[in-house]
Amino acid sequence: LCMEPLLIWYQDTNMQSVVYELNSYMEQRLDTGGDNKLLLYELCNIIKTATKADGFALYFLGECNNSLCLFTPTGAKEGLPGLIPSGPITFGTTIAAHVAKTRRTLLVEDIMGVSRMLFCCLHSNLAWASVAIHQVQVCRGLAKQTELNDFLLDVSKTYFDNIVAIDSLLEHIMIYAKNLVNADRCALFQVDHNNKELYSDLFDIGEENEGKPVFRKTKEIRFSIEKGIAGQVARTGEVLNIPDAYADPRFNREVDLYTGYTTRNILCMPIVSRGTVIGVVQMVNKLGGSAFTKTDENNFKMFAVFCALALHCANMYHRIRHSECIYRVTMEKLSYHSICTSEEWKTLTQLSLPSAIYKEIELFHFDIAPFEDLWPAIVVYMVHNSCGKTSFEQEKLCRFTMSVRKNYRRVPYHNWKHAVTVAHCMYAILQKTTGIFTELERKGLLIACLCHDLDHRGYSNSYLQKFDHPLAALYSTSTMEQHHFSQTVSILQLEGHNIFSNLTSSEYEQVLEIIRKAIIATDLALYFGNRKQLAELLATGELDLNNRAHRDRVIGLMMTACDLCSVTKLWPVTRLTANDIYAEFWTEGDEMKKIGMQPIPMMDRDKKDEVPQGQVGFYNAVAVPCYTTLSELFPPSGPLLTACRENLAQWERIVQGEDTSAWASTDEAELSETSDSGPVKVDN
């Protein structure tokens, strides 16, 4: 192509100003984000002027890319598609169809008399326009991506700053979704898989407030997942792009009838979380176009991923709120049934102990069993005698004691009787070690012993952990012990039950920490390391009760000694208590057998004849070393060690066959007669 005539032609026709005008127009359309069809139409107008043409026709591809549509700017400017079908793309029809089919420029000289120079000008300008439009599209795509990134960041901030306003979050998402694909309306339906329905209560009413769409929260509408385009998307998880809604038999007209709105075209996208459709976003009526495009689909797919996250969080938040409501109602019912009545605590204030008890209660081997009705009064007496009558308000102490009793379950061993027995052992130790422990420690240790097995279910920590009990998920170590402390705090927080209300905030924190550490120390798994460390400190003479860590170890050993004190009672009491212990052990073993697991021997009912040998092993490995170390720490506690050794000797005689009458294996029915109640299910 000779360039000199073309240059002269450019100068003669002032094409420099035309190019400048084209550049300015392209920049303006890029800034305003105008529609490409109108952009091309205006470019054609400029080229028409430059080529002194009488007119032009601008065609676009039809929906399936196999036909042409004539563009009319009047409809496009009014928000309508502005496309008139002009026939298929094939040979032998029209010049425009021929060019679209061959994808080559065609000059028909005889019709218009157009010079070859004008043809070159037209060809070069259209080529330039094509490049320019591509550049515009790339820039617009980057701008859209930046806008999307900014939006996702903004929504993330909105969600984390104000998680309560979940409807506002959904509105925020729907507003941007409309802008993203240039839709007139937007709807978001959630999926109710249980009832196989779609539902929504947030609607785009087509109004604006300060330039932003208004969404109205109204009565929830529901319809079957088997109906409509949204229903099909919810069932199949596939994207649907419907150019003519009323021509599609899948379209559900019920929503239009309900809202009074006319739907022309639809882009419907599933919101998928963990492989399940949890919602459907439906864009309605493309603005400035005949239908939603493939580009709209691709943009919306990316956005739907974030919609899934937002909707998942919304559902999770609502489930949490619902669970909180259930929790509050449950706690209200639990409080009603776990708090003592006014008659119960008032009756306790009137109880008095027989004079014979005052002497016996100071002895380590004191058996509380014959005085069941007086157990609460024994607790009050021990607290008053150890800490002083003015240390607690009488009414609060009585309320607390009776409510603690009510929160012990009727299990064979870890029950109210065991709690009072352990508290008595601690009382006896404190009475014989005056001047060693502070008033706060004495208060904390007596209350810790009384509460150390609150709400025990009769099952071991290992059992709860093995069967993934909720308590094991809540407390991964010392499961039941942490639960016992939690129950203690819960009772203290009940109205009229805070026996430590007269303490300062600092003293209150101290006494709660004493109680916590003491209760946790009753986890037998912690005993072995604790006793070993204490024995080494005693052997080396390094034990210092003014050292907080040493003092905690001493208190931990005292709690173990009190928890095991049934082995230090007179033989008849020790034997009956062993029955109660094994009633719980064997119940746990039975549960394990039901699911095909083999319990350890001491929990296997079929090995009940091995109980005496097991007791000998327990005394030698746990009990005797415990009371030996305790007697070295506090010599006045020596009677505990003496009684423990006497009972060990009794078990050894049974093992050797010298006194078979002292122990006879019993059936579950007989065991339950010596207990407060029979077995209890673990999930209660």
Report, as residue numbers or ranges, the catalytic residues: 414
- What letter represents residue 205's amino acid? I
What backbone phi and psi angles, to 5 degrees, belong to 562?
Answer: -70, -40
Residue with tokens 């890029």: 30
Residue 467, CA atoms < 13 Å, CB-side half-sphere: 19
Percent of residues in the chain assigned helix, strand, coil, to nearest 5: 60, 10, 25
d(CA 106, CA 123): 10
CA distance linking residue 52 with residue 142, whole number of Å: 37
Backbone angles phi, psi at 364, to 5 degrees: -60, -35
Q: Which residues contact 30 (CB under 8 A, 6 or more apart)?
A: 136, 139, 140
- Written as one string, the DSSP assignment of 393-430 is -HHHHHHHHHHHHHTS---SSSSHHHHHHHHHHHHHHH
- Tell me the sheet residues that pair with 189: 280
**How far apart are alpha carbons 155 and 172 in whole angstroms?**
7
Helix (H, G, I), strand (E, B) or coil at 215: strand
Angle between helices 116-161 and 36-51 (to 10 degrees): 160
- Kind and range of the H or E run holding 133: helix 116-161
* Residue 447 token pair: 């209350």
Amino acid at 575: R
Q: Tell me the two tokens of residue 213.
A: 């769409």
Q: What is the DSSP letter of 393?
A: -
d(CA 178, CA 188): 11
